[in-house]
Amino acid sequence: MQLVSKCGTIKVDFYPVTYADGTISQRLIYKTVTFGKDLQSKRYINRKDMDHEIDSRVEGYGYEVTELHTIPQLFNSALCCAC
């Protein structure tokens, strides 16, 4: 899922996560934040945090849902610090 700020400069993307054996994580989501054209952060979050963040950004800050990402991203344990 992609959320875009009112002014269009901030994009937050959420992707499903797949492991090397092909299984899709039921717990983790890969999140990226882009400001303009520059990637600001990327990390794994749990689904509960994703749901809370989506509600907060859409309802509280007027972000718009612009895309639905369904292609899982391969899990990279180097990015995961407190999964």
Is 64 inside any structural domain?
Answer: yes
Average pLDDT of the residues of the chain: 93
Q: Report if residue 63 sits inside a domain.
A: yes
pTM of whole model > 0.75?
yes
End-to-end CA distance of the chain: 20
Contact 63, 2 (CB under 8 A): no
Looking at the 3D structure of the chain, how many domains does it have? 1
In a domain, residue 24? The reply is yes
How many C-beta neighbours within 10 Å does residue 63 have? 20
Tell me what percent of the residues of the chain surpass a pLDDT of 90: 89
Residue ranges making up the domain that contains 12: 2-73
Residue 79 has pLDDT above 90, yes or no: no
pLDDT range class, residue 83, cuts 50, 70, 90: very low
Query: Does 20 map to a domain?
Result: yes
